[in-house]
Amino acid sequence: MDRAALADFLRRRREALRPEDVGLPEGSRRRAPGLRREEVAALAVMSTDYYTRLEQRRGPQPSVQMLASLARALRLTGDERDYLFLITGHNAPTTLSDTTQVAPALLRVLDRLADTPALILSDLAETLVQNRMAEALFGDRSGDTGHARSEIYRWFTNPSERLRYPERDRDRQSRALVANLRAAHGSRGPRSRAGDLVRELCRASAEFAGLWERHEVAKRFEDHKVLIHPDLGGIELDCQVLFTEDQSQALLVLTAPPRSEGYEKLRALALLGRTEPDQGPAHAGPAGTPAARSPRA
């Protein structure tokens, strides 16, 4: 581990960022350029003391999971992320789909979306990042761990997960989730986390096993859907999806036409979301760990 290189790299990347780059307001007058150490620490889900020690060449070797969080917090490119891993004595990740780094291009778009639900999903339907509106609509996914990070796993093992959809749409959603997993499984291979998820679901759910045997393959998201909120009831929404080039991550943005009933319910949803502490978008942690939040200081 090259502590000097790590300290200098972290400091320079932190100073190169502006609050608006990570979805933070400018706030009070800043005496130094870039983000504050405590802001990077919060974005990376670590203590300020730990991050400070890394910048002061005093910290221990970060884990792979911690490095993935730092790469996401500092909005590193793929090359910069690989460099971060190498100077800390780790092998660079081979592909984006096998890491927890959120695609920077998608994250930049999400950072600018505040008035409509938006979230970034992995190809295993894991919520990597969600803004406050998405949290108000879908619930806080920051406590999910292990296989339960995947919406596909929760859908077939937790009946309450289906209450968010009208009964008439649940069969369609089941097929879409399995078809998406089939595509991820084909891309990643049977020895990947996708393969582990398939094997676990085949054991846990006869319904999933039956749908898996159909061999339907598609990256399928409905353009129009109705989602049921516990306080607001059914909300009709349009769904726009933006994929990364390798199709491993997707940004979902949910909107409603102006002056429609769905539009008014989204406005009400925004008010409900403001009753909670303003903590910014929730960022998922490494595979098998809870998500964490980034601040809006």
What residue segments make up the domains of the chain, in order of their start?
A: 3-93, 104-293
If you classify domain 104-293 with CATH, what class do you get? Answer: alpha beta
pLDDT score of 100? 58
- Tokens at residue 176, please? 């879409």
> Residue 287: which of 48, 122, 112 has the closest Cα?
122
> Residue 207: which of 182, 229, 177, 174 has the closest Cα?
174
3-state secondary structure of 127: strand
Vertex 41: Cα angle to 37 and 44 (nearest 5): 140
> Residue 266: which of 83, 115, 141 has the closest Cα?
115
CB 73 within 8 A of CB 80: no
CA distance linking residue 291 with residue 73, whole number of Å: 13
List the chain pLDDT tens, one digit each, 297 residues. 888 889 989 998 899 888 877 777 776 677 777 888 998 998 888 899 999 999 999 888 998 888 988 988 888 877 788 889 888 988 877 654 445 568 888 888 998 888 899 999 999 999 988 899 999 999 888 778 889 999 999 999 999 999 999 999 999 999 999 999 998 888 888 888 999 999 999 999 999 999 999 898 887 777 889 999 999 999 999 999 998 887 889 999 999 999 999 999 999 999 886 554 444 455 544 443 334 443 332
pLDDT score of 141? 83
Q: Which residue shows structure tokens 């859908």?
A: 155
| H helix or E strand, kind and range, residue 278 | none
CA distance linking residue 266 with residue 95, whole number of Å: 36
CB 156 within 8 A of CB 207: yes
> Residue 121: which of 221, 226, 211 has the closest Cα?
221
CATH of span 3-93? 1.10.260.40
| H helix or E strand, kind and range, residue 226 | strand 224-229
3-state secondary structure of 11: helix
CA distance linking residue 107 with residue 72, whole number of Å: 9
* φ, ψ for residue 295, nearest 5 deg: -80, 160
CB 256 within 8 A of CB 101: no
Distance of CA 117 to the CA centre of its chain: 13
CA distance linking residue 1 with residue 297, whole number of Å: 33
CA distance linking residue 285 with residue 282, whole number of Å: 9
Where does the chain have alpha helices with state H? 3-16, 37-43, 48-55, 64-73, 78-87, 104-111, 132-138, 151-157, 170-188, 193-204, 206-212, 261-273
